């Protein structure tokens, strides 16, 4: 794990863009793992600019998103599906058939999970995985717990995650209580990982990640310590307790 510190949100977005632009130019058929949330929005804007400037071509790129709420229609404005189309896919030339987002709908969510893992495996695995970090140390929706599941699974969201994510909904009762998330196995098998963190609210989790050595299910991001090619990009506020 290496980390770099930039001045602010624009700085981390630009640093992440440099990695992505270089990677996509060298690997035109790359498989990207993608995150939702506030943190990647700056990077996504720059990727859209890169496409519009003809610097980047997404026609052969495939993507797998980390997670999706259970029970929300993909067209619901708060679904991660809608988020991704609004903030990235609608503005670049990625082929819709190459976009993959777990489905939190249907009778048999376990089947959806197995199917998602099968698709990731048959694509050859994720080349470049983008992660954010929860204030509680979650990555994707692998929430702190006594034990964690390796593969894509249904998870009960922690009350604090529901509270943090309620900012996107009319009120916290509207936030789904469950999500489908990639497990640590899919994340750690990624050939390269970039984790972005911005703002003082992330500082405690970042300090724990970088200063401590323990790997623990109660702090899921700590599993990144076993990954050999992870870059953490922080702004000064997220790095303020280092
Ligand atoms: C989103 C995801 C989450 C977020 C994390 C940080 O797909 O997997 O783990 O990355 O909750 O969210 P933001 O960026 O909104 O602070």
Please give the residue range of the domain that contains residue 63: 2-235
| Contact residues for 56 (Cβ-Cβ < 8 A; gap 6+) | 21, 24, 25, 47, 50, 92
201 lines ligand 1 (CB under 6 A): no
Is 30 part of a structural domain of the chain?
Answer: yes
CATH of the domain at 215: 3.40.50.1360
| Per-residue model confidence (pLDDT) at position 169 | 87
131 pLDDT higher than 90: yes
Q: Could you report the per-residue pLDDT of 190-227, keeping only the tens digit for each? A: 999 999 999 999 999 999 999 999 999 999 999 999 99
| Per-residue model confidence (pLDDT) at position 205 | 98
Q: Is 143 a catalytic residue?
A: yes
Q: Could you report the per-residue pLDDT of 160-174, keeping only the tens digit for each? A: 889 888 888 888 888
32 pLDDT higher than 90: yes
> Nearest 5 degrees, angle CA 45-CA 46-CA 49?
90
CA dist 195 and 25 (Å) reads 20
37 lines ligand 1 (CB under 6 A): yes
Q: How confident is the model at residue 146 (pLDDT cuts 50, 70, 90)?
A: very high
137 lines ligand 1 (CB under 6 A): no
Compute CA distances 221 → 52, 82, 191, whole Å: 34, 26, 17
Is 29 part of a structural domain of the chain?
Answer: yes
- Ligand 1, atom 2: nearest CA belongs to which residue? 140
pTM score, two decimals? 0.96
Q: Which of 87, 100, 138, 227 is catalytic?
A: 138
| Per-residue model confidence (pLDDT) at position 52 | 98
Is 240 part of a structural domain of the chain?
Answer: no
- Ligand 1, atom 8: nearest CA belongs to which residue? 140
Distance 164 CA to ligand 1 centre (A): 10
Which atom belonging to ligand 1 lies closest to the Cα atom of 165?
Answer: 15
Is 69 part of a structural domain of the chain?
Answer: yes
Is 58 part of a structural domain of the chain?
Answer: yes
Q: Could you report the per-residue pLDDT of 82-93, keeping only the tens digit for each? A: 999 999 999 999
Q: For ligand 1, pick from 34, 39, 148 the residue to mutate: most ligand atoms within 8 Å of CB.
A: 39
Mean pLDDT of 118-132: 97
| Per-residue b or e along 197-211, where b marks 16 or more CB atoms closer than 10 Å to that residue's CB | bbbeebbebbebbee
Distance 84 CA to ligand 1 centre (A): 13
Is 203 part of a structural domain of the chain?
Answer: yes
Compute CA distances 144 → 1, 82, 114, 202, whole Å: 21, 27, 22, 15
How many domains are there within the chain?
1
Contact 145, 217 (CB under 8 A): yes
140 lines ligand 1 (CB under 6 A): yes
Q: How confident is the model at residue 143 (pLDDT cuts 50, 70, 90)?
A: very high
6 lines ligand 1 (CB under 6 A): no
| Per-residue model confidence (pLDDT) at position 12 | 98
What is the percent of the chain where pLDDT is above 90? 91
| Per-residue model confidence (pLDDT) at position 165 | 87
- Count CB-CB contacts under 10 A for residue 134: 23
Mean pLDDT (the chain, rounded):
96
Q: What is the side-by-side order of every strand in the sheet holding 192-197?
A: 2-6, 230-235, 192-197, 128-131, 31-34, 62-65, 99-100
60 pLDDT higher than 90: yes
Distance 133 CA to ligand 1 centre (A): 6
Is 241 part of a structural domain of the chain?
Answer: no
Contact 141, 177 (CB under 8 A): no
Is 242 part of a structural domain of the chain?
Answer: no
For the chain, what's the residue count?
Answer: 242
């Amino acid at each position: 794990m290496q980390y770099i510190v930039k001045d602010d949100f624009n700085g981390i977005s630009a640093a992440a863009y440099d990695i992505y632009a270089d990677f996509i130019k060298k690997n035109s058929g790359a498989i990207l793992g993608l995150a939702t949330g506030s943190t990647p929005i700056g990077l996504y804007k720059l990727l859209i600019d890169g496409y519009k400037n003809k610097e980047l071509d997404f026609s052969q790129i495939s993507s797998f998103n980390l997670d999706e709420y259970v029970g929300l229609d993909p067209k619901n404005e708060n679904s991660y599906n809608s988020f991704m189309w609004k903030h990235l896919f609608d503005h670049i030339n990625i082929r819709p058939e190459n976009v993959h987002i777990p489905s939190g709908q249907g009778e048999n969510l376990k089947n959806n999970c197995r199917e998602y893992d099968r698709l990731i495996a048959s694509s050859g695995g994720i080349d470049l995985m983008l992660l954010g970090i929860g204030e509680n140390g979650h990555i994707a929706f692998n929430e702190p717990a006594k034990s964690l599941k390796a593969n894509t699974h249904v998870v009960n969201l922690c009350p604090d995650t529901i509270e943090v994510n309620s900012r996107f909904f009319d009120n916290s009762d509207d936030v789904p209580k469950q999500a489908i998330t990639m497990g640590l196995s899919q994340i750690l098998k990624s050939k390269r990982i970039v984790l972005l963190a911005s703002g003082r609210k992330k500082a405690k989790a970042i300090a724990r990640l970088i200063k401590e050595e323990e790997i623990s299910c109660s702090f899921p991001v700590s599993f990144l310590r076993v990954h050999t090619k992870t870059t953490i990009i922080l702004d000064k506020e997220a790095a303020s307790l280092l």
